[in-house]
Amino acid sequence: MQRKSCNLTNVLPFLLRPKPKPQPAILFCIRSLYPQRSSHLTDDSKSAAEARITDEFSSDVEKLYRILRKFHIRPDKLDLALRDSDVSLRPGLLERVIRRCGPAADLAISFFSWLSRRRPDLPQSAAAHRALLSSLTRARHFGAAWALLDRMRRELPDALTTDVFVALIRRFAAARMVSKAVQVLDEMTAYGCAPDDYVFACLLDALCKNGSVKEAASLFRDMRYRFPPNLRHFTSLLYGWCRAGKLDEAKFILVQMREAGFEPDIVVYNTLLAGFAAAGKMEDSYALLTEMSRKGCEPNVISYTTLIQALCTRDCLDDAMRVFVEMRSRGCVPDIVAYNTLISGFCKSGRLDRAYEFLDAMDTMAMQGCAPNPSTYFPIFTGHELKEDIDKCFELMSRMSKAGCLPDLGIYNVVIRLSCKLAELKRAVVIWNEMEASGLSPGLDTFIIMIHGFINQGFLIEASGYFKEMVVRGLFSAPQYGTLKELLNSLLRAEKLELAMDVWTCIVSKGCELNVYAWTIWIHALFSNKHVKEACSYCLDMMDAGLMPQPDTFAKLMKGLKKLYNRQIAAEITEKVRVMAAERNVTFKMYKRRGEMDLERKKQRARKKRREGRQRRACQGGNKANILGPYGLKVDLV
């Protein structure tokens, strides 16, 4: 099977080579009621919590993590710094460092590679390999993940359990790479782990939960003789169709389920209930509750919470409270999810006082297993963010600390975003440092928030620093091209050409996968800020990388070079474009004409936008114009 190569070009050779011989001195609120096998890879929140536990590893892990962050792109200095760290390299350390790196897979693989070379005699546990595999798949470095699986097959075959492949299937499904997820199922046998009904059920579940229910239904039909249908298969498909809003297909699955001899259980009813509620069919939802009781399947806390969630989403908080009261009157004790749902509903409607009432009630029930968690506090933070009340956010963080509840990444993102919005950049940096000190690694969203915050306030050097740090940690990918465009244009407008080139060099040197759109952003930014020769130079680099410039980019560069009377560069670019166009069976004449047309259309859109802007400003100034007389003389309105 051909697999897509990973941008970690320096990782694959290491993972594929044999281990050296030892040397001396070296939106549904549905929670499944089916028993689940424990997974070492899919529970990211558990991993994050474990990374924050203070124990014998904590200080060493933090020291190594800082070294990895600082010297990650300098292998020679990284090796020297790790050697001089005075950290005792012992079993269990590798796994903790990998988990501390979080989604920064590049940092994790660097330490994994270094430790394998430095201490080949130190046994690398199956848990460490699974942690690294989780980091790679979370970062979607699937090529390196497959290479690691091959290494595990050679050296730790017992570590290749079904949960490892299930985790890989879920990551492929989350990336909407359906064919790759199915191929994992097919290749399991080659790794000495035969796929069973559990793995197939997890595959269907992953596809349905990630919006690929049509593909899941087709796979279910094709595989029904290899994996006989069971209740969990039908439940997954029912969930997928309900989540997609296809209630007719969901009802058909229910009919098929009964024809196969399976009677709906509480999970099936709750899934269908969630589908009705999400579609706004509240009358059908209430009728289904009645039918459940009539058939001896009493609604549970999930059933009521599903209705409460749907009502809160529609801002029907009074109806949600009635369902909450009915639930308690029927002897169904609300759990933390029910309370969190109500708190979220009140916060979204701006009624933070009621949210705090429920929060106080949960504090009193902490001993009964209903203590607030980060998900409880998060909507309150977002409520304060909407009101731009930063002081209340810090008071709430202090309350969390006293309650022994550590903020999660989402809460830190809210507080950092609000601090940046209010130009409180020093506070944002303090919160960032506090987050990292607590053991949480900033994610992609956190970096984007900080970068835009510093750009908006004009601190471009700091914004560039955070952007390069994001790239170093392996978090830069195609969805961040908007941030890249804003940063590069801001730097060039501020005449910081060298800093902009440094940012681009960092991206290229890290081996990030750059497509034609990324190159176009950089080239257009240079051209728009009158750096025509530099734009042409990078255009040549792009073509050397095998990427053909877009037609409007070529037309723009030719126009700029014509003004500079630089025929030599123009001829070089034109000749390369001719060759690439011929390789793609495109005539150069059509390519050139399309570029000129695209450029003209963009100019027309720009002129139209400016004209509309002038008209809006004229309309907004209409009130002032009324104060003047017909000859421009000021009229006394008193």
pLDDT recorded at residue 432: 94
pLDDT recorded at residue 308: 92
Compute CA distances 563 → 530, 532, 533, whole Å. Answer: 12, 10, 12
Structure tokens at 31: 């929670």
- What are the phi and psi torsion angles at 563 (to 5°)? -70, -30
pLDDT recorded at residue 392: 94
Using CA atoms of 341, 346, 352, 354 in order, give the dihedral in degrees to the nearest 10: -90
Using CA atoms of 475, 481, 487, 492 in order, give the dihedral in degrees to the nearest 10: 130
3-state secondary structure (DSSP) of residue 406: coil
Question: What value does the mean pLDDT of the chain take?
Answer: 82
Could you tell me where the DSSP H helices lie in 11-55? 12-16, 44-51
Q: How many CA atoms lie within 13 A of 598 on its CB side?
A: 13
pLDDT recorded at residue 463: 94
pLDDT recorded at residue 611: 84
d(CA 517, CA 398): 44
3-state secondary structure (DSSP) of residue 231: helix
Specify whether the CB–CB gap between 271 and 239 falls below 8 A.
yes
Structure tokens at 316: 């029907």
- What are the phi and psi torsion angles at 324 (to 5°)? -60, -45
Q: Which of 53, 48, 85, 44 is nearest to 66 (CA)?
A: 85
Strand segments (E) across 172-253? none
Specify whether the CB–CB gap between 460 and 490 falls below 8 A.
yes
CB atoms within 10 A of CB 582: 11
Structure tokens at 391: 């002081």
- DSSP at 332: -
Q: Which of 180, 172, 223 is nearest to 201 (CA)?
A: 223
3-state secondary structure (DSSP) of residue 628: strand
pLDDT recorded at residue 24: 35
Spans in the chain with pLDDT lower than 70: 1-56, 478-479, 511, 620-638
Structure tokens at 97: 């460092």
pLDDT recorded at residue 630: 40
pLDDT recorded at residue 388: 93
- DSSP at 40: S
DSSP string, 418-467: HHHHTT-HHHHHHHHHHHHHTTPPP-HHHHHHHHHHHHHTT-HHHHHHHH
d(CA 584, CA 567): 25
d(CA 454, CA 424): 10
Amino acid letter at 145? A
pLDDT recorded at residue 478: 65
3-state secondary structure (DSSP) of residue 327: helix
- What are the phi and psi torsion angles at 456 (to 5°)? -65, -30
Compute CA distances 120 → 21, 22, 115, 249, 359, whole Å. Answer: 7, 5, 7, 56, 52
pLDDT recorded at residue 409: 93
Q: Which residues contact 102 (CB under 8 A, 6 or more apart)?
A: 48, 51, 135, 440, 441, 443
Q: What is the pLDDT of residues 441-477, one digit of tens each?
A: 898 899 999 999 999 999 999 999 999 999 888 888 7
User: Vertex 186, ends 180 and 192: CA angle to 5°?
Assistant: 120
